[in-house]
């Protein structure tokens, strides 16, 4: 089945890229 999601959309879900977590220090 063809997949609609862009690879970079998927990558941007990585927790390591979610710097908002820094603010829960």
By rule CB under 8 A, what count of residues binds another protein? 24
Pattern of binders to another protein over 1-25, x per CB under 8 A?
-xxxxxxxxxxxxxxxxxxxxxxxx
**What's the gap between Cα 4 and its chain centre?**
16
Q: How many CA atoms lie within 13 A of 22 on its CB side?
A: 5
Min CB(5)–another protein separation in Å: 6
Min CB(2)–another protein separation in Å: 6
Separation of alpha carbons 15 and 19, rounded Å = 8
**What residue ranges bind another protein (CB under 8 A)?**
2-25
């Amino acid at each position: 089945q063809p997949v609609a999601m862009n690879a970079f959309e998927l990558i941007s879900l990585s927790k390591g890229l979610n710097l908002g977590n820094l603010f829960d220090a």
